[in-house]
Chain A
């Protein structure tokens, strides 16, 4: 088992450092941020909030990381969230039993993923184009289901997907961590991870070596669709309603950013589920800090841009030598003084 530690701590140092930094900003903005208290068997506190709010993007990132590792991208995850949420809400409102409604929602994600996978793996469309199609049409599909309204529901089990507590943690957090763990295990305890990375770096060689490249390609999109559906369920349950218009809006960009912050290259190849999850948390921590800082909302986008730019710079291969030389110069100066 020790071979499958999901986050190899040493490899994740940059992401951990970023997370700590983002959390420190939160502490600076809201002093009581780190306090944790147990109440009615559930933990409360700023950290829990970040985990809880970050759960959907964590899930998306978990699905997105293998996709990006195959040199792909999935622009449709936000829309899949909306569709699956709409299916679940419409399902319970139409009198479907809640387990069936949830299954239907997950199945919807699976079908969406299958569609993407088909276009990419069989029809060989460029991933960005293939998933753009669903991104454009998908919100319409979700609205078709809800007829443009917010479908509210009162089915307690469905609401519990976002509201229940398990092991003192909000259920979304547990679900996201479980999904991450399961995915990590699926890719590292089997040969899938190797295949994904091989297909992502050199599909031709991989095929010649006997890897079923189209299957691998298709599978990552299916998985991404499934994760997005789960994220959609959480988002829908969170507001007790399916908001086809806004659920998951632009979250695909967050997920991609999270995976990139997690150190997976958009050129495919090596990927890490654990670090992608950390990337999602970094994003959420930043967002929470911006929200809670009390600055005018006009500033949000600029702040976000600056932070992402800083992260990119820090991650750049060109940055380390530069930083080292700066540190050296600084030290020299200090020595002289």
Chain B
């Protein structure tokens, strides 16, 4: 028990509990939401968001943020539509091409952050303008993709009992989460990402090449955005420049709901997965209800976001206060909790410039 319930798994646990709770409430109100059909829809409809969230989780764990993912996704869909419809490129080649370009775009963003020592927020904001602008330059229209292979891919699905379907795109998302989890929690690269997010300067003193890690992290995130673009274009069989406007905020919200700290160094993709599902669930519930006006929809989403974060916060605070009994004298909090660093041991969260 004590091994699995600690400050790190607790936010995740809290998220899962709240998710199950909300699902139970929804299902009690609308039994139709219980079926595999809605479950399947939840996975399919949020596949692109899930993939974005995987990339975003890695960036956030590394202590950064990426506001450009929605725009990169949009750019990918138009580029794909243009490539496949305009030049008749086989989809497989087009996919490879946009993935490579996406990765390179992210690498450029990471390089700008590292070499210009500019904050990720601003650099990725600029990248968002750039990607969205390029997408509009390619085409301002939404372009349908008529391609036999595409149709097959888009329709590919595993039938579930009860009219539900596990579509290819949902499968891709699940695999992405798996791969993201392995990358982040099982590889040396993942360890470097956590190190970078914990304290970039210290990580560097410990021999980590922070520049390369930053570049790779952003390359990965944009790669995921490009993959999300592919998935989205399969999902809609078209490409459109304004696709994914504002979706970066959803991805960030999913990551945050999942218990990953925006200060970096703490978190994981499993929580983000739940975060994505929760958002999907909220929207589904609002649609099932069907009486909320436009404005109440927005207010409800904001309120639920608040609820989640508040509940998580409460659980964390309560556990910090009462939870660590048993293992010797519990940690006293250090002089101030104003920093949002996870553990308040003196050496954490220092953004110290150099050894004096």
By a CB distance below 8 angstroms, the chain B residues around A337 are none
In the bound complex, do residue B130 and residue A301 qualify as a contact, i.e. CB atoms below 8 Å apart?
Answer: yes
Chain A residue with Cβ nearest B125: A253
In the bound complex, do residue A133 and residue B122 qualify as a contact, i.e. CB atoms below 8 Å apart?
Answer: no
**With A and B bound together, what is the CA distance between A124 and B342 in angstroms?**
12
In the bound complex, do residue A207 and residue B309 qualify as a contact, i.e. CB atoms below 8 Å apart?
Answer: no
Give 1 or 0 for each of B294-308: 1 = CB within 8 Å of chain A CB: 111111111101100
Among A35-43, A102-110, A307-315, the stretch that binds chain B is A307-315
Whether A260 touches B122, Cβ cut-off 8 Å, given contacts A123-B310, A203-B338, A299-B133, is: yes
By a CB distance below 8 angstroms, the chain A residues around B253 are 132, 136
Question: Which of A134, A140, A199, A316 contacts B118, CB < 8 Å?
Answer: A316
B116 at the interface (CB under 8 A from A): yes
Question: Which of B132, B137, B302 contacts A137, CB < 8 Å?
Answer: B302
Give 1 or 0 for each of A44-86: 1 = CB within 8 Å of chain B CB: 0000000000000000000000000000010000000000000
What is the distance, in angstroms, from A184's C-beta to the closest C-beta of chain B?
24
By a CB distance below 8 angstroms, the chain A residues around B297 are 140
B252 at the interface (CB under 8 A from A): yes
B212 at the interface (CB under 8 A from A): no
**With A and B bound together, what is the CA distance between A143 and B262 in angstroms?**
30
Give 1 or 0 for each of A200-220: 1 = CB within 8 Å of chain B CB: 000110111000011001000
By a CB distance below 8 angstroms, the chain B residues around A299 are 133, 137
What is the distance, in angstroms, from A11's C-beta to the closest C-beta of chain B?
19
B142 at the interface (CB under 8 A from A): no
Interface centre among A132, A140, A298, by most chain B C-beta atoms within 10 angstroms, is A140
In the bound complex, do residue A140 and residue B298 qualify as a contact, i.e. CB atoms below 8 Å apart?
Answer: yes
By a CB distance below 8 angstroms, the chain B residues around A306 are 130
B335 at the interface (CB under 8 A from A): yes
**With A and B bound together, what is the CA distance between A73 and B192 in angstroms?**
27
Question: Which of A134, A142, A305 contacts B133, CB < 8 Å?
Answer: A305
Question: Which of A136, A137, A302 contacts B129, CB < 8 Å?
Answer: A302
A257 at the interface (CB under 8 A from B): yes
By a CB distance below 8 angstroms, the chain B residues around A203 are 336, 338-339
A270 at the interface (CB under 8 A from B): no
What is the distance, in angstroms, from B181's C-beta to the closest C-beta of chain A?
23
Whether A137 touches B336, Cβ cut-off 8 Å, given contacts A123-B313, A302-B134, A312-B122, is: no
B96 at the interface (CB under 8 A from A): no
Whether A143 touches B116, Cβ cut-off 8 Å, given contacts A136-B305, A300-B133, is: no
A186 at the interface (CB under 8 A from B): no
Interface size for chain B: under 10, 10 to 19, 20 to 34, or 35 or more residues? 35 or more
By a CB distance below 8 angstroms, the chain B residues around A266 are 119, 121-122
Question: Which of B118, B129, B296 contacts A304, CB < 8 Å?
Answer: B129
Interface centre among B295, B296, B299, B305, by most chain A C-beta atoms within 10 angstroms, is B295
In the bound complex, do residue B116 and residue A316 qualify as a contact, i.e. CB atoms below 8 Å apart?
Answer: yes
B46 at the interface (CB under 8 A from A): no
By a CB distance below 8 angstroms, the chain A residues around B337 are 124
In the bound complex, do residue B295 and residue A319 qualify as a contact, i.e. CB atoms below 8 Å apart?
Answer: no
> What 16 new A-B contacts, CB under 8 Å, besides A140-B296, A304-B129?
A123-B310, A125-B309, A132-B249, A132-B253, A137-B302, A137-B306, A142-B295, A143-B295, A204-B338, A260-B119, A260-B122, A298-B133, A300-B133, A312-B122, A313-B116, A315-B118
Q: A residues engaging B (CB < 8 A)?
A: 73, 123-126, 128-129, 132-144, 147-148, 199, 203-204, 206-208, 213-214, 217, 253, 256-257, 260, 265-267, 298-306, 308-309, 312-313, 315-319
Q: B residues engaging A (CB < 8 A)?
A: 65, 112, 115-119, 121-123, 125-127, 129-130, 132-134, 136-137, 140, 249, 252-253, 256, 261-263, 293-303, 305-306, 309-310, 313, 334-340, 351
